[in-house]
Structure 1
Amino acid sequence: MILIGVDPHKSTHTATAVEPASNRQIGSLRIEASLAEYRLLLTWARTWPQRTWAVENANGLGRHLAQWLIARGERVVDVPAAATSRVRELSRGGRRKNDQIDAAAAATVAYLHGDSREVGAEDHTTALALLDERRVNLAQARVRTVNQLHALMRDLLPGGAPAQLSADQAATLLRAVRPTGDVEKVRKDLARDLVAEIRTLDKRLTENSARMQALVEAADSTLMSTPGIGPVMAARLIGRVGRASRFPTAAAFANYAGAAPVEIASADKARHRLSRSGDRQLNSVLHTIAVVQIRMPNSPGHAYYQRKLSEGKTAKEAKRCLKRRLADHVWRVMLGDERRVKSRLTAAA
């Protein structure tokens, strides 16, 4: 088995073949980032029939090359940039750095240190992550547009518009405005443009949500059966987590999501605080689900929250306990969905 480490850059990629048993470099190739050069790289790599590609940052700069290789039947593992940096630091030569050294370090990490992770072909998980990113951008654009509309409405109407302003409400208010000069006419025209933009953004957000729901249902996910988890939250969870099986335990998942409490030193008794590490966007999803369940009287989360309050915990402590419990629940549901889909595919094959 030969490991081919790849140090990717925006315009060039450097590959180094390493013999794992001796950690000896047996070949290196630098290519331009183009399809023709990709084919040249694969032809060069076929010198070694048994090979594995170790691509540094395979979900970033190395994503295109990694997915291109996977589509052609190659085995690819992702190596974090921080891990290759450690290898360079501890190896002979100290802090020396160039593309060939980085590529060799990626291969070394993949074989010796266990920091690598196998990369799979892009699927519905990637599609949901893209839709979620697009939704965040649309929502931010809508907030900016509504704020601009509020600023204009303050100068067009006494007291301005209400805080929760929809496009229809703004259009109704604007119809009552009778501009008396050029300045007010411009303000009203601009406000009409902003109302039209808000309608467009609302339509795109609705379409985005519908596409998310269709993909979640196509993935045979049961996340939406949990109170507080709709299409958007389910899509965000799947897009952020990917395969639940990459976490060996529910505790590992909770730690990754920043939902596992951290013990802090105290002279009187052991105390805990919220973890500030982990995936903060995933933590935000768990927080949203917890808040929604607390407000739903018939939900299991509401009953659990009230039980924790009756035990003497504060509202913050009870919510923290609920987030930790939800992290366990989400991991179990996603793991069950993954296993069910895998078994169905195995049976069909």
Structure 2
Amino acid sequence: MTGGVDTHRDFHVVAALDGLGRLLGTATFDATSAGYSQLTEWLASFGPLAQVGVEGTGDYGAGLTRHLTGQHIRVVEVNRPNRQKRRRQGKSDTTDAINAARAVLAGEAHAAPKLRSGPVESLRVLRETKQQLTKARTAAINTLRALLVTAPTALRESLAGLSTTQLLVACANLDTPTVPASGLRGRARTASHDELAEALCDHETATRTALATLAATITDYDTRLTELTTQLEALIARIAPRTLACRGLGPDTTTQLLVTAGDNPDRIHSEAAFARLTGVAPLDASSGRQQHHRLSRAGDRAANSALYRITLTRMATCERTRTYLTERLAANGSNKKHLIRCLKRYITREIYPQLRTDLATLTP
């Protein structure tokens, strides 16, 4: 029999179908370790469990996917039903669970989910943290510079013309009022708070305090980002030395390609599948006597962006790549964008064997 699961943060709705697609039952279980075990036992009560289709294997269904995989049960990643189908049939958690099971049974869903339990998952969580801290740092710097625009003239002029590094040091050293200790009580607390409020009523004092706080926050972000960069570089060198050694790849681009591929090497069965996953496989757009291929806008766009950066690096540093560009431009007048797309496809073909070897090495 086949199971289908519609996942949520706090609970999962599951449906069981027999080999002919007939509904055997539906149930709801908590999204906890105990709930995962109960869900598996409930499905097994209908007979031998062949496979389970799970929506959201990358978020709310990640824990269940790890549990089922650990029980040696085949898990299939199921996308949400298309909107036209939902408009016709309506939408409910039970309906979604049944549709997930039917998609697997009919062969419409067949993708293996990412395991999210190995070194590549470690890369993903560290990289995602770094990306969020980078965004927060940029936002803090923008806020600091915006405050300077409306700061009192004397303060603004004293900080004008400084680089970002110099500005952070200068702001961190600004004179600010002392914040009273949190343990104060009674009259001592009232007096200290009154003194602080009196100081902050002055516009320049409040602005200095805000600038100093932002500078300290940005400096802390810099420290954390440096630590994360070191951690990522050490991890990527350990788990993907062959991929990292490819020309034009660095820690960032290698990390992105690994995260896109996932921990399990069997998830991407061929080089062509990897090209489709990264959005560099051209789509046939031929008609009649005209043979033509067009740009694919599908696939993982972050991985596609990484391949673009790799291509630009090779165009700047690789003599073979520059020769290819020169010859193609002279031979048939192809535009540069088209040739970059061709290069991305070639680079994917070169990277895939190294990537698969690294992933296979990680698999116990």
Give the TM-score category using the shorter length: 0.7 to 0.9
1:111 to 85, 105, 113: 105
Structure 1 position 275 matched with structure 2 position 276: no
Deviation track 1:283-320 (CA, whole Å, cap 9, x = no partner) reads: 11112222233233x46544544444444433333333
Which segment drifts farther, 202-211 or 313-322?
313-322
2:138 corresponds to:
143
Q: What secondary structure is seen at the aligned counterpart in 1 of 2:2?
A: strand
2:124 corresponds to:
129
2:157 corresponds to:
157
| Correspondences of 1:181-260 after superposition (within 5 Å) | 183-242=203-262, 243=264, 245-260=266-281
Q: Compute the RMSD of aligned alpha carbons.
A: 3.7
Cα pair 2:172 2:211 within 8 Å, conserved: no
Q: TM-score, normalised by structure 1?
A: 0.78
Residue segments in structure 2 that go unaligned for 5+ positions in a row: 177-201
Q: For 1:305 and 1:150, how far apart are their aligned partners in 2?
A: 43
Deviation track 1:252-287 (CA, whole Å, cap 9, x = no partner) reads: 332332223456689x98776643332211111112
1:70–1:27 CA distance, 2 compared to 1 (3 A): same
Give the C-alpha shift of residue 126 in structure 1.
1.9
Q: For 2:172 and 2:103, how far apart are their aligned partners in 1?
A: 66
Cα pair 2:159 2:167 within 8 Å, conserved: no
1:289 to 287, 310, 313: 310
1:31 corresponds to:
29
Give the C-alpha shift of residue 5 in structure 1.
1.9
1:244–1:7 CA distance, 2 compared to 1 (3 A): same
Letter in 1 for 2:89: R
Q: What secondary structure is seen at the aligned counterpart in 2 of 1:77?
A: strand
Q: For 1:28 and 1:178, how far apart are their aligned partners in 2?
A: 65
Q: For 2:224 and 2:292, how far apart are their aligned partners in 1?
A: 46
1:84–1:24 CA distance, 2 compared to 1 (3 A): farther
**More relative contact order, 1 or 2 (CA 8 Å, 6+ apart):** 2
How many aligned residue pairs are there?
Answer: 330
Q: For 2:237 and 2:261, how far apart are their aligned partners in 1?
A: 17
2:190 corresponds to:
none
Cα pair 1:260 1:324 within 8 Å, conserved: yes
Residue segments in structure 1 that go unaligned for 5+ positions in a row: none
| Structure index of larger Rg | 2
Q: For 1:49 and 1:239, how far apart are their aligned partners in 2?
A: 36
1:316 corresponds to:
337
User: Share of identical aligned residues, percent?
Assistant: 27
Deviation track 1:83-131 (CA, whole Å, cap 9, x = no partner) reads: 7986x89xxxx61554444323222221222413334362122222222
1:170 to 162, 167, 171: 167
Which segment drifts farther, 227-236 or 313-322?
313-322
Give the C-alpha shift of residue 183 in structure 1.
4.4
Cα pair 2:4 2:101 within 8 Å, conserved: yes
Letter in 1 for 2:212: R
Letter in 2 for 1:102: D
1:272–1:60 CA distance, 2 compared to 1 (3 A): same
1:149–1:305 CA distance, 2 compared to 1 (3 A): farther
